[in-house]
Amino acid sequence: MSCKRGVLVLTVLLCMCAVTPTLLFSQATTSGTVTGAVSDPTGALVPGAEVTLVQQGTNATQTRTTDSAGRYLFPAVNPGMYTVKCTAKGFRTTAFSQVQVEVLKSVTIDFKLELGAASQVVEVMASTGAELQTTDAAIGTVIGGDMLLRLPALARSVTSALMMQPAVSPSMPGMGDVNGGQVAGANVDQTTFYVDGGDATSDLEGTNGYVSPPGEPQPAPFIAVPAETTQEFRVVTANPTASFARSQGGEVAILTKSGTNAIHGSTYEYYYGNATSANSWLLNSVGRKQPHSVNNRFGTSVGGPIFKDKLFVFGNYEGRRFYQNATITQVVPTDSARAGILKFRDCALGFGPPDPITGGNRAIREALESARSSRPTSGSCLSPITLPLATHGTLPDSPQLMRSRKLKT
């Protein structure tokens, strides 16, 4: 019995050792840090002070005690709005009520306690130097909230904002594999994506370009991340830390929204199609109406508590209706070529103006008139073998509307 129990304990320990590094790595790629020092009115550091961190949306609470040097550290903090307060014996309670923690960034909150009873609370609205990054030298921009939703992105994907970051090459249509998205000079397939701490980088080509639907930006994670479901994301473009340690390109950390104690949600639709777009010049020139074309995205999201302060849920659905058409220009034989009359321009008589009748020079026109007078007045002078080939296909300036492509996701 004791042997079986020992095997069971050993198995559990091995499973914990296997899972723990993954959990810690996930926290490192989706969280921020809160650190600082606690001092008294004379500037002396206060050891043993209790620092409490409370997330405002969920009331999740973490507590730390300052060390002998009067410093504290919260190493893995989910991004969001927090209240940080400090209590110590013989001092008033000091609280910072609007502390914004962002993904892959550190926030420094230094407390300067005042003498008094702990029941007296001193509320501080802002901390000098809280935004200054002192724990690492990584350079990157954090985008989230209303700013992310209001960026002009047709695909409504969070990775569309990647092209707007400093040190990122913009998208250049028609450039083949070199199609923008290179971060600080690295290859486009060297960008690493993490979604909620999980590695979402495509191992096939690195950009997700082989399997992504039409119109989706690249590079991108292989998990679709709509802008409406994203709380914030950060692109590290220079001086990366060891949080990712996967490739030499950019590091993109994406954090999706989560439920809170308050029920919240949204409904949205983004329409782009022929109903709100003008016809093209080419179709107008041949008298054709604008074909049916739609790129419509719609969805809804909702989040809230299952057990207040304990368990939360958030979900999103997004659909897409995509009808695509294309205008194709094809070179076909002219009416005269179908009749066996070939027109050429040469330099036999110099580079003078073309003959107004044949389009070539006068000698060619005279030769064609001589040939025309010697051939039958009806039928074609083409060989019966080549006649079906010459008459196959559409006539010049004869537009035909092909069936459009249709995609539903």
What are the extents of the domains in the chain? 19-124, 137-257, 259-328+396-409, 335-391
Note every long-range contact of 121-125, with CB atoms under 8 Å and residues 24 or more positions apart, other chains counting. 121/85, 121/92, 121/93, 121/94, 121/95, 122/92, 122/93, 122/94, 122/95, 123/94, 123/95, 123/96, 123/97, 124/94, 124/95, 124/96, 124/97, 125/96, 125/97, 125/98
Q: Which amino acid is at 15?
A: C
Q: Which amino acid is at 41?
A: P
For residue 231, what are the contacts with CB-CB under 8 A and spacing of at least 6? 79, 80, 144, 145, 255, 256, 257, 258
* Rounded CA separation 165/148 (Å): 13
Higher pLDDT, 214 or 192: 192
Reported as a pLDDT band with limits 50, 70 and 90, residue 401 is very low
281 HSE (CA, 13 A, CB side)? 0
Please calculate the CA angle 18-205-26 and round it to the nearest 5 degrees: 30
| Beta strand ranges found along 189-310 (DSSP E) | 192-195, 198-199, 230-238, 251-256, 264-273, 294-307
Q: Which of 390, 307, 318, 13 is nearest to 158 (CA)?
A: 318
Higher pLDDT, 237 or 279: 279
Residue 53: its pLDDT value, please? 93
pTM above 0.75, yes or no: no
Reported as a pLDDT band with limits 50, 70 and 90, residue 126 is low
Pairing status of strand 264-273 against strand 198-199: unpaired
Residue 8: its pLDDT value, please? 53
One fold for 19-124 and 137-257: no
Residue 391 zone, left/alpha/beta (φ > 0; ψ -120 to 50; rest): alpha
Instruction: Specify the CATH superfamily of domain 19-124.
Output: Carboxypeptidase-like, regulatory domain (2.60.40.1120)
| Residue 273, φ and ψ in degrees, nearest 5 | -165, -170
pLDDT in tens, 7-57: 454 554 444 443 333 333 444 567 788 999 999 888 899 999 999 999 988
Burial of 231 (0-12, 13-18, 19+ CB in 10 A): buried
Given CATH 2.170.130.10, say whether it is the number of domain 137-257. yes
- Please state, for a pLDDT cut of 70, what percent of the chain lies above it: 67
